[in-house]
Amino acid sequence: MKNVTFKQLRALAAVVRTGSVTAAAQKLNVSPPAVTLQMQLLQDQAGLPLVERSPAGTVATDAGNEILRAVDQIETILADCTAALASIAGTKRGTVSVGVVSTAKYFAPKVLGAFARAHPGIDLKITIGNRAEMVDGLTRYEIDLAVMGRPPDELDVELDVIGAHPHVIIAPVDHKLAGKPKIPARLLASENFLVRELGSGTRALMERFFAQEGISPKFGMVIASNETIKQAVIAGLGIAFISGHTIDSALAMNSLTILDVEGLPIVRQWCVVHLRSRRLMPAVATIRAFFVEEGPKYLPDIGR
């Protein structure tokens, strides 16, 4: 594939990510026949089919996915090169893509806001999602840094600790166990738990805690939002295992309470992580250091 061009590679990426030649042409601001031509030239060089039709649209074959992984890395290297050239030129500029797990949105945006004020020349692109989405973003080179709890075991990453991250069980203030000391975990077996979606780091930690305690509480509604979980608990629809950093305002208003369950809180660490294989550009290194040095100031205090 010595004669591959950027036009060919970007045509493949656009077709797969939009699902059709027509949509890819609109994204690339060219005509559909131009996209088809670039795809055909690339496929001729590869010697293998790169895409196939599916009910959901055009998808990549195994060969196509191999090329797409290379495209992601090439685009990242070009972006890193641009940032490095800016650094060599003596400018404090660049663009950093930061992924934030949804639970961290209670403090990370404040850190990013402070960073933006201190470094106006650095542009920030922020993505919020669950843990699985952050891992995918790192894997695809779409995220430079990710703010998360447990670092991904499936990736080779470097991490820096921001600060402690407690997890607790919350309940309505009139719950039968509210205010009781040292509640045995076995008493939770009959409770109805409101839980985060699969892929959430909070849910994974909760399930490990239940497995260690040998209990299997009932899982009620699956809710992909900490805010909605809190409101559902306040309304008496169940109790929940949740990050302590999502509930400080509700505790201050006495809207809900933390159950004093034996073995809790489970304290993990907030971390900022990046792929070990990625060259750390100056702008990325600057924001990583800012999270480590300034991030602890913005962590909520739940008094535990």
Residues of the chain with pLDDT under 50: 91
Residue 303 lies in a domain: no
**Prediction pTM value:** 0.69
Q: Supply the pLDDT for residue 88.
A: 58
One domain, residues 172 and 263: yes
Q: Domain ends where: 14, 41, 65? A: 65
Domain count, the chain: 3
Burial class of residue 130, CB neighbours in 10 A (0-12, 13-18, 19+): buried
Q: Domain ends where: 65, 96, 113? A: 65
Q: Supply the pLDDT for residue 15.
A: 93
One-letter amino acid at 190 equals: S
Query: Would you call the peptide bond into 265 cis, given omega within 30 degrees of 0 as the criterion?
Result: yes
The number of CA neighbours under 13 Å toward the Cβ of 55 is: 0
* CATH code of residue 112: 3.40.190.10
One domain, residues 169 and 264: yes
One domain, residues 86 and 105: yes
One domain, residues 248 and 282: no
Q: At residue 260, what are phi and psi to the nearest 5 degrees?
A: -85, 75
One domain, residues 175 and 237: yes
Query: Each residue of 262-298: pLDDT tens digit?
Result: 999 999 999 999 999 888 888 899 999 999 999 999 9
Residue 30 lies in domain: 6-65
Q: Supply the pLDDT for residue 265.
A: 95
Residue 290 lies in a domain: yes
* CATH code of residue 26: 1.10.10.10
One domain, residues 149 and 30: no
Tokens at 4, concatenated = 């591959």
Q: Supply the pLDDT for residue 92.
A: 64
Q: Supply the pLDDT for residue 87.
A: 63
One domain, residues 195 and 257: yes
One domain, residues 249 and 194: yes
Which long-range contacts link 208-213 to residues 24+ away (Cβ below 8 Å)?
A: 209/185, 209/241, 209/263, 209/264, 209/266, 212/263, 213/185, 213/186, 213/263
